[in-house]
């Protein structure tokens, strides 16, 4: 629903274009803004699965600390 808001999309693009890394959730499927975000060279999609969900918070925290 937020992806239908031009203000939300604009603010999110500004955040993604900025110097600070962004951790966000995104729908698994979708067109428009979702597709645009997924296609960015600087975006990495990490799927949460039952196999990785326990260790993922620590792994993501390490990545952000290293940045």
Q: Higher model confidence: residue 23 or residue 2?
A: 23
Cα-based distances in Å from 46 to 20, 24, 28: 18, 10, 11
**pTM of the complete model:** 0.78
pLDDT band with cut points at 50, 70 and 90 for residue 50: very high
Mean pLDDT value across the chain: 91
What is the domain range of residue 37? 2-66
35: nearest Cα among 62, 1, 2, 3 = 3
- Coil, strand or helix at 16: helix
Q: What is the pLDDT of residue 1?
A: 65
Predicted confidence (pLDDT) per residue in 28-43, tens digit = 888 889 999 999 999 9
Decide if pLDDT at 63 tops 80: yes
Total domains in the fold of the chain: 1
Q: Which two tokens stand for residue 24?
A: 């966000």
């Amino acid at each position: 629903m937020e992806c239908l808001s031009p203000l939300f999309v604009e603010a999110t693009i500004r955040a993604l274009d900025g110097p600070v890394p962004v951790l966000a959730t995104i729908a698994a499927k979708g067109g428009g803004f979702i597709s645009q975000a997924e296609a960015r060279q600087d975006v990495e999609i990490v799927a949460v699965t039952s196999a990785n969900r326990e260790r993922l918070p620590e792994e993501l925290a390490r990545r952000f600390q290293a940045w």
